[in-house]
């Protein structure tokens, strides 16, 4: 008997944690953290300390109390007894926190499988942001590439690359005793590497799957225009060309496609692209895995921003070891302030203070990340602060973004191409809408086992 139990990723966008059981084989598909994880109990500085294990999360029912899964250290102060784990493997589709972050709670002996690129990104992010997924003590990490066939007892799992807003993203075809089961992970079809998703869809179709677990992030958004990455690049080009001053851009540092759109825009308009030391470190680490990425140290179109620190003299001692490598590429606010029109600068919310030193004139700001921040009620305070900064410095605000997820029409086309016997919507708040595109929808309920 094959069954699936969702511990996250149903009735919500993100937080994927799916247990697939078949005879004596038990694997998890992703082990992520929900986007609203802990928001009911933790606030600003009211956060669990590093010394805490799962006791805090169990107290508020934030993490399911599943025996034989978590590590000894994590269970130490809880009433759940440590037992040797009975999970054969955990497969991670990509490096976003809503798919990987809770791997840190798992027993170190459980085999974890992820793509090479995913591993590199997880490690890089953990170094820069220690609260991001700690793989530190896991003794059983395994890395796959697209097309591998991984045997777990009688199951065979095939990871196949897909395009998403982070490199190294995969979907899985799992060959079970009930037939193949497809798990899409997060994917899209409107970026520069859509061929990868097409390959995944082809292989999924050929497998004639029994079931498909498909993400539906955008299932609920009615037919708005589906912006492509190419359109984003065009829009950025236009804004940069017209701008009379420095152009600031904000986008996620792990979104390499978006970085490339801004990078090309800078090259086309003969501006230098300015990134900070964290961003330089991420690109440097991804360079080995993505050959066509520009080399931070060698590329004359890229400069690395150093904030004025303690000594006030940009002395080496003011910066972390990892940052010092980029000192030959250093650009400071003095350099920028003098010649503002020559630059396109990555600017996150937390770095706005630099505007006080740069004193932008005739500048533009391109917000190029999830619309969520611009619309969500919970972000109102932050949004107001951003608006105030823009107004204070007379910076013109623009939006240029496309989603990392397939639009409704693409979801429909994928379902019609793959033709699984049953469709199981995941990673969505609009599961019922899938019924418009397929006659047999099954809807998972949290922590309830669904037999196939
Ligand atoms: Zn996700
Ligand atoms: Zn994702």
Locate 52 and state its tokens. Answer: 């805490």
Same domain for 386 and 299, yes or no, is yes
Same domain, 217 and 98: yes
Query: Which one of the ligands is nearest to 218 CA?
Result: 1
- Here the tokens at position 120 are 């590199």
Q: In angstroms, what is the span from residue 8 Cα to ligand 1's centroid?
A: 11
What's the CA-to-centroid distance between 94 and ligand 2, angstroms? 7
Phi, psi dihedral angles at 157 (to 5 degrees): -115, 125
Kind of pairing, strands 330-331 and 302-305? parallel
294 and 371 together in one domain: yes
Give the H/E segment covering residue 199: helix 194-206
3-state secondary structure 395-426: CEEEECCCCCCCCHHHHHHHHHHHCCCEEEEE
Same domain, 422 and 365: no
Helix (H) or strand (E) holding 95: none
User: In the chain, which residues have pLDDT < 70?
Assistant: 223
Give distance in angstroms: CA of 186 to centre of ligand 1: 6
Residues 123 and 217 in one domain: yes
User: How far apart are the CA of 116 and the centre of ligand 1, in A?
Assistant: 19
Instruction: Please indicate, yes or no, whether residues 181 and 305 belong to a single structural domain of this protein.
Output: no
User: Do 432 and 353 reside in the same domain of the chain?
Assistant: no
How many whole angstroms from 169 Cα to the centroid of ligand 2?
A: 8
Distance CA 56, CA 301 (A): 48
| Count of alpha carbons within 13 angstroms of residue 58, beta-carbon side | 16
40 Cα–ligand 1 center, Å: 21
Which among 356, 375, 399 is the end of a domain?
Answer: 399
- Residue position matching structure tokens 């002996």: 109
Position 51 scores a pLDDT of 73
Point out the ligand nearest to the CA of residue 30. 1
Determine the distance separating the centroid of ligand 1 and the alpha carbon of 400, expressed in angstroms: 21
pLDDT, position 137: 79
Both tokens of residue 386?
Answer: 């951003």
Taking a 5 Å cut-off on Cβ, the residues next to ion ligand 2 are 96, 186
Q: Determine the distance separating the centroid of ligand 1 and the alpha carbon of 165, expressed in angstroms.
A: 10
For the chain, the helix, strand and coil percentages under 3-state DSSP, each to the nearest 5: 30, 20, 45
Span from the CA of 122 to the centroid of ligand 2 (angstroms):
13
Predicted pLDDT of residue 444: 97
pLDDT score, position 214 = 98
CA–centroid distance, residue 337 to ligand 2 (Å):
37
Q: Which residues contact 18 (CB under 8 A, 6 or more apart)?
A: 4, 5, 6, 7, 9, 28, 29, 30, 183, 213, 426
Segments forming the whole domain that contains residue 240 = 229-399
C-alpha 374 to ligand 1 mean position (Å) = 19
Three-state DSSP state, 312: coil
Ligand of minimum distance to the alpha carbon of 13: 1
Q: Residue 215 Cα, ligand 1 centroid: separation in angstroms?
A: 8
Q: How far is the CA of 392 from the centre of ligand 2 (A)?
A: 35
Cα of 330 from ligand 1 centre, angstroms? 35
Cα of 385 to ligand 1 centre, how many Å? 28
How far is residue 234 from each of residues 57, 188, 271, 342, 347, measured CA to CA in Å?
45, 19, 16, 19, 20
3-class DSSP string for 252-309: CCCCHHHHHHHHHHHHHCCCEEEEEHHHHHHHHHHHCCCCCCCCCCCCCCEEEECCCC
Tell me, yes or no, whether 331 and 391 share the same domain. Answer: yes
Query: Do the beta carbons of residue 331 and residue 214 sit within 8 Å?
Result: no
Tracing tokens 């899409």 back to the chain, one arrives at 184
How many C-beta atoms lie closer than 10 Å to residue 131's C-beta?
12
Could you say which ligand is closest to the alpha carbon of residue 215? 1
Closest CA to 202 of 138, 158, 237, 267: 158
Looking at the CA of 14, which ligand is closest? 1
Query: Which of 358, 382, 399 corresponds to the end of one domain?
Result: 399
Distant-in-sequence, close-in-space partners of 382: CB < 8 Å, separation ≥ 6: 349, 373
Cα of 264 vs centre of ligand 1, distance in Å, is: 27
Å from CA of 247 to ligand 1 middle: 30
Report pLDDT for 375.
75
Q: Phi, psi at residue 423, to the nearest 5°?
A: -115, 130
Q: 42: domain CATH number?
A: 3.60.15.10
Quote the ligand 2 centre to 217 CA distance (angstroms): 10
State the total domains in the chain.
Answer: 2
The reported pLDDT for the residue numbered 170 is: 98
Would you state the structure tokens that stand for residue 434, as one six-digit string? 């899938």
Q: How many CB atoms lie within 10 A of CB 105?
A: 20
CA–centroid distance, 428 to ligand 1, in Å, is 10
- The CATH code of the domain that includes 265 is 3.40.50.10710
Q: Are residues 443 and 353 in the same domain?
A: no
Ligand 1 geometric centre to CA of 286 (Å): 20
Query: Which of 399, 419, 435 is where one domain is finished?
Result: 399
Pairing of the two strands 155-162 and 150-152? antiparallel
Distance between CA atoms of residues 407 and 16, nearest Å: 19
- Separation of 9 CA from ligand 1 center, angstroms? 9
Which ligand sits nearest to residue 32's alpha carbon? 1
Closest ligand, as measured to the CA of 252: 2
300 shares a domain with 193: no
Specify the pairing of strand 179-183 against strand 330-331.
Answer: unpaired
- Whether 185 and 169 have beta carbons less than 8 Å apart is answered as yes
Closest ligand (CA of 95): 2
Secondary structure letter of residue 112 according to DSSP:
E
132 and 238 co-located in one domain: no
| 366: phi then psi, degrees, rounded to nearest 5 | -110, 115
d(CA 119, ligand 2 centre) in Å? 15
Is 51 in the same domain as 67? yes
Neighbours of 271 (CB within 10 A): 19
- The CA 207 to ligand 2 mean position distance, Å, reads 24
The pLDDT assigned to 232 comes to 96
Distance 235 CA to ligand 1 centre (A): 26
CA of 218 to the centre of ligand 1 (A): 12
């Amino acid at each position: 008997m094959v069954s699936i139990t969702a511990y996250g990723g149903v009735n919500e966008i993100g937080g994927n944690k799916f247990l697939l059981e078949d005879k004596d084989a038990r694997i998890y598909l992703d082990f992520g953290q929900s986007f609203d994880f802990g928001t009911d109990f933790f606030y600003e500085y009211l956060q669990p300390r590093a010394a805490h294990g799962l006791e805090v999360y169990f107290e508020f029912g934030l993490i399911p109390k599943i025996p034989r899964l978590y590590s000894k250290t994590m269970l130490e102060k809880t009433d759940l007894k440590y037992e040797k784990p009975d999970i054969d493997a955990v497969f991670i589709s990509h490096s976003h926190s809503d798919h990987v972050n809770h791997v840190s709670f798992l027993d170190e002996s459980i085999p974890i499988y992820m793509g090479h690129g995913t591993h590199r990104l997880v490690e890089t992010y953990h170094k820069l942001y220690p609260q991001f997924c700690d793989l530190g003590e896991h003794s059983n990490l395994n890395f796959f590439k697209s097309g591998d066939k991984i045997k777990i007892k009688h199951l065979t799992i095939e990871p196949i690359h897909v395009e998403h807003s982070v490199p190294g993203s995969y979907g899985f075809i799992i060959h079970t005793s009930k037939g193949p089961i497809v798990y899409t992970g997060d994917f899209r079809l409107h970026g520069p590497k859509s061929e990868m998703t097409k390959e995944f869809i082809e292989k999924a179709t050929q497998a004639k799957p029994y079931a498909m677990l498909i993400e539906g992030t955008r299932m609920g958004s009615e037919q708005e225009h589906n912006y492509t990455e190419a359109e984003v690049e065009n829009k950025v080009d236009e804004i940069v060309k017209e701008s009379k001053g420095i152009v600031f851009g904000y986008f996620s540092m792990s979104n390499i496609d978006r970085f490339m759109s801004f990078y090309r825009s800078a090259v086309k308009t003969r501006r230098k692209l300015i990134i900070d030391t964290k961003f330089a470190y991420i690109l440097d680490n991804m360079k080995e895995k993505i050959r066509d990425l520009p080399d931070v140290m060698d590329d004359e179109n890229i400069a690395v921003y150093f904030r004025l620190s303690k000594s006030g003299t940009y002395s080496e001692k003011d910066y972390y070891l990892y940052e010092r490598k980029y000192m030959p590429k250093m650009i400071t606010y003095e350099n920028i302030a003098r010649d503002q029109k020559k630059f396109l600068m990555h600017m996150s919310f937390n770095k706005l203070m630099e505007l006080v030193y740069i004193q932008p004139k005739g500048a533009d700001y391109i917000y190029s990340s999830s619309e969520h921040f611009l619309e969500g009620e919970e972000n109102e305070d932050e949004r107001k602060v951003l608006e105030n900064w823009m107004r204070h410095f007379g910076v013109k605000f623009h939006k240029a973004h496309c989603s990392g997820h397939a639009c409704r029409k693409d979801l429909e086309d994928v379902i019609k191409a793959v033709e699984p016997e049953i469709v199981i919507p995941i990673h969505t708040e609009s599961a019922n809408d899938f019924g418009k595109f397929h006659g047999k929808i099954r809807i998972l309920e949290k922590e309830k086992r669904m037999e196939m």
